[in-house]
Homo-oligomer: A and B are copies of this chain.
Amino acid sequence: MISPGELIQLVSPQGKKYLMTVEAGKELHTHHGKIDISEVLEKDFGDEIKTHLGKVYHILKPTLYDLIKNIERKTQIIYPKDIGYILVRLGVGPGSKVVEAGCGSGSLTMSFAYMVGETGKVYSFDRREEFVSLCKKNLTKAGLESRVVLEVRDISEGFGFKSMDCGFLDVREPWLYVEQLAEVVKNGSVVGFLLPTTNQVTKLLEALEKGPFIDIDVVEIMLRRYKPIYERFRPDDRMVAHTGFLIFARIKNK
């Protein structure tokens, strides 16, 4: 049975998804009619629920993927294909202490928060007030805000703390902050960067080569989606061709 306050998503017959927390008395207005959210409290994940016009919706438990897809965004978000790889490369998991600058709309922040669990912590910064607000809003909606320290801060002066397990920069000129990033994480940790243009990547590589970094690696993750029709199986006609280059490096002893 689903509890009050729990995060759910309702899926329309056409696959449109609505993310929300369950509260007695709440109503969802869809173009198939109203759904009385109180009814969710008598049901389980996977069950059906009907609009007042009799249309069937499904009640699903949101995964990390769903949370990312539902983010309210003002910028290009970081995609699940890139997030999954970042998590594995940085070694983020239960208990990790992660630092990040350039939170943007918060898709990566939320993913870090999801994975570090109750025992870990995410420290996230952005110079722009509006993004810190938006990120906070998205974290709150997903019930993950308590795991994140989120502040408006320019990191050029350094982070002011130490011993993070890993770090990530999604900022326009990361080569300006590689020293600060190397300071805030433990020796031997992995740090990552996301950059859209090759010009930025080459500038960053030059900075990394001069700093205390080893194991420098640049990759691009491409996702190709297929039409899931068994009699006519084939790739989709169009795809997202580029979201950014991912750069990883390891801090050697400082």
Contact = CB atoms under 8 A, between A and B. Distances in A.
A64 B88 contact: yes
Contact of A61 (B89, B186, B224, B237): B186
A202 to B, nearest CB: 4
Interface in A190-238: 190, 196-199, 201-203, 205-206, 209, 214-238
Contacts of A250: 60
A160 interface: no
Contacts of A197: 232-234
A162 interface: no
Given A47-B253, A197-B234, A219-B225, A61 B242 contact: no
A83 interface: yes
A124 interface: no
A239 interface: yes
Nearest to A227: B218
A240 interface: yes
A226 B218 contact: yes
Interface stretch (A25-33, A112-120, A131-139, A150-158): A112-120
Contacts of A227: 218
A233 B204 CA distance: 12
Contact of A93 (B46, B114, B199, B234): B114
Interface string A62-78: 11111010000000000
Interface residues of A, number: 91
A219 B226 contact: yes
Given A237-B241, A240-B237, A61 B189 contact: yes
Nearest to A86: B84
A178 interface: no
A237 B239 CA distance: 9
Interface of A: 11, 15, 44-48, 58-66, 68, 80-81, 83-91, 93-95, 111, 114-119, 165-166, 186-190, 196-199, 201-203, 205-206, 209, 214-242, 245, 247, 250-254
Given A87-B87, A198-B198, A205-B230, 13 more contacts: A46-B189, A61-B189, A63-B89, A63-B90, A64-B88, A81-B221, A85-B85, A117-B117, A217-B228, A218-B226, A219-B224, A221-B223, A238-B238
